[in-house]
Chain A
Amino acid sequence: MISLVEVQETNKMIREMNLDVRTITMGISLMDCAHTDLKVFNQKIYDKITKSAEKLVKTGEDLEKQFGVPIVNKRISVTPISIAAGSLNTDSYVPVAEALDKAAKEVGVNFIGGFSALVQKGCTTGDRKLIESIPEALAVTERVCSSVNVGSSRSGINMDAVKLMGDIIRQTAERTADRDSIGCAKLVVFCNAVEDNPFMAGAFHGVGERECVINVGVSGPGVVKRALEEVKGKDFETLCETIKRTAFKVTRVGQLVAQEASKRLGVPFGIIDLSLAPTPLIGDSIAEIFQVMGLEEAGAPGTTAALAILNDNVKKGGVMASSYVGGLSGAFIPVSEDHGMIQAVQRGALTLEKLEAMTCVCSVGLDMIAIPGDTSKETISGIIADEAAIGMVNNKTTAVRIIPVIGKSVGEMVEFGGLLGYAPIMPVNSFNCAGFIDRGGRIPAPIHSFKN
């Protein structure tokens, strides 16, 4: 029998600690839409997306009501467009992005991910065309998200792609300069990208996935923070145990929503991503968790260890709660989306270098970081190369979502709005790395890639 205490605990987590299901993402394969004619291809993908996701938003809203738990985002991810559109006879993929945007608007999702290319070992003609279309595609569409995988532990890092992406990020920033370079907030550069990730902007429907699938991302930094407040000052064992227990409960909610959504939509359930993803709301911050753990600010000595503890125990708690845990699962450390991280940057506690160190143990990488608008494309490529190297050598996913805000410099604020938040522009080490980036070619895979 359910007890009053349990009911109160669950509802307190939802009401006061911002427990939510962050996203239901429907992955849709566009493989069967391949065509040589642009018009036919666009019509086919539009039809397939709008038909498959017809009831997605309504179902999400119904579940929200039935269980009384907020489901913040309903989204779609599709087969990387560079693959689905490989046979297209066209120079620009911008019209494809527009078709995706139109489909997303039609079904009412806030983002559609998959304007992507996987080029860790090399670029096909289609990959190159797609990458070159990114700046305009992100400027003329509203809901399309783009990602490029430039490296992996198995194949090394494609430095030609790294060099190109530095330029693409700058162009994207310039094309959306009138809106604080927001285009870059919808563009991720990955190393070891996962194919079942429900989180934007890096979501796409992997080529190993089935026709259509439902992935759910759960999140609850506020719940973890509150639970840790109860054990303040206690030892690390207690700390870890508390995170684990909380992550378990949070993930169970995601499992329930995922199963029910999958049943109602008649689409198989894929994975639960049990990430702690912050929002700009007070009380929904990873940096606040560090503070409860005993650090004055995020970025203080000990932060990397604190993040390692947090990430590991979130995973440990979550795997018990669902048999299919996947995606990026762990703690996200975006700057602009976390008011505690923003404060840490403003107080000088958190630097880009410290964030990079933290990405060795977080679930993704350098995320939503605003940098000066005059940062050179080589410097951006250098930042991408560093981050990709961390991912490649450590067999983990890393990513860069960095925003050179055109016309703004260190210390100024930039406002992206909504879940994307706001951020102070952070200083970047501006010593030249052009000689390194200009070499081109590929960094060979590390020795431990030879596992078979």
Chain B
Amino acid sequence: MKGIITVLGKDKVGIIAKVCTYLAERNVNILDISQTIVQDYFNMMMIVDISQAAKSTEVLVEELQQIGEEIGVEIKLQHEDIFNIMHRI
């Protein structure tokens, strides 16, 4: 099962490190990262494999959101299906 993580917010040092450390500790594998910075705003999308994750998707969603709040950015994890179904016939 794949998930899409999006991170949005003012750029600062250590955002990727924080997210990646968390994912590694929960056994979530990162398959792809793309990232842009537009006028100081950090915008990242990750495709991750959550099938072997140590915690349920719902818990991952909540904990990532908390990390986001701690470092002042918005972090979302969503099942990839919502994007597939909306944009692919």
Among B6, B57, B81, B83, contact of A65 (Cβ-Cβ < 8 Å): B57
Task: Tell me whether A62 and B58 are in contact (CB under 8 A).
Answer: yes
- Within the complex, the shortest CB–CB distance from A57 to chain B, in Å, comes to 14
Interface residues of B (CB under 8 A from A): 4, 6, 32, 34, 36, 43, 45, 47, 57-58, 61-62, 76-87
Task: Tell me whether A253 and B78 are in contact (CB under 8 A).
Answer: no
- Within the complex, the shortest CB–CB distance from A363 to chain B, in Å, comes to 23
Task: Tell me whether A68 and B78 are in contact (CB under 8 A).
Answer: yes
Report B-chain residues with C-beta under 8 Å of the C-beta of A62.
Answer: 58
Among A4, A6, A66, A249, contact of B61 (Cβ-Cβ < 8 Å): A66
- CB-nearest residue of chain A relative to B61? A65
Task: Tell me whether B86 and A67 are in contact (CB under 8 A).
Answer: no
Known contacts A6-B87, A7-B6, A11-B6; decide if A68 and B82 are in contact (CB<8 Å): yes
- Within the complex, the shortest CB–CB distance from A16 to chain B, in Å, comes to 12
- Which of the four size classes fits the interface of chain A? 20 to 34
Known contacts A7-B6, A65-B62; decide if A2 and B83 are in contact (CB<8 Å): yes
- The majority secondary structure among interface residues of chain A is helix
Interface contacts beyond A65-B57, A253-B82: sample of 6 additional A-B pairs, CB < 8 Å, sorted by A:
A8-B6, A8-B43, A66-B57, A66-B61, A256-B85, A260-B81
Give per-residue flags for A4-42: 1 if the beta carbon is below 8 A from chain B beta carbons, else 0.
101111110000000000000000000000000000000
Interface residues of A (CB under 8 A from B): 1-2, 4, 6-11, 62, 65-69, 249, 252-253, 255-256, 260
Known contacts A2-B4, A11-B6, A11-B76; decide if A67 and B82 are in contact (CB<8 Å): yes
Known contacts A66-B58, A252-B85; decide if A4 and B45 are in contact (CB<8 Å): yes
Report B-chain residues with C-beta under 8 Å of the C-beta of A260.
Answer: 81
Report B-chain residues with C-beta under 8 Å of the C-beta of A249.
Answer: 86-87
Report B-chain residues with C-beta under 8 Å of the C-beta of A67.
Answer: 78-79, 81-82
27 pairs, CB–CB < 8 Å, chain A vs chain B: A2-B4, A2-B47, A2-B80, A2-B84, A4-B34, A4-B36, A4-B43, A6-B83, A6-B87, A7-B4, A7-B45, A9-B87, A62-B58, A66-B57, A66-B58, A66-B78, A67-B79, A67-B81, A67-B82, A68-B78, A68-B82, A69-B82, A252-B85, A253-B82, A253-B86, A256-B81, A256-B82
Give complex CA distance A68, B5 in Å.
Answer: 11
Give complex CA distance A415, B70 in Å.
Answer: 38
- Within the complex, the shortest CB–CB distance from B66 to chain A, in Å, comes to 13
- Within the complex, the shortest CB–CB distance from A65 to chain B, in Å, comes to 5
Among B47, B57, B61, B86, contact of A10 (Cβ-Cβ < 8 Å): B86
Report A-chain residues with C-beta under 8 Å of the C-beta of B43.
Answer: 4, 8
Task: Tell me whether B82 and A10 are in contact (CB under 8 A).
Answer: yes
Give complex CA distance A62, B59 in Å.
Answer: 10
Give complex CA distance A291, B81 in Å.
Answer: 34
User: Quick one: which of A68, A69, A253 has the most chain B CB within 10 A?
Assistant: A68
Report B-chain residues with C-beta under 8 Å of the C-beta of A65.
Answer: 57-58, 61-62
Report B-chain residues with C-beta under 8 Å of the C-beta of A68.
Answer: 61, 76-78, 82
Task: Tell me whether A252 and B34 are in contact (CB under 8 A).
Answer: no
Report A-chain residues with C-beta under 8 Å of the C-beta of B83.
Answer: 2, 6-7, 10
Report A-chain residues with C-beta under 8 Å of the C-beta of B76.
Answer: 11, 68
Report B-chain residues with C-beta under 8 Å of the C-beta of A8.
Answer: 6, 43
- Within the complex, the shortest CB–CB distance from B20 to chain A, in Å, comes to 18
Known contacts A2-B80, A67-B78, A67-B79; decide if A252 and B57 are in contact (CB<8 Å): no
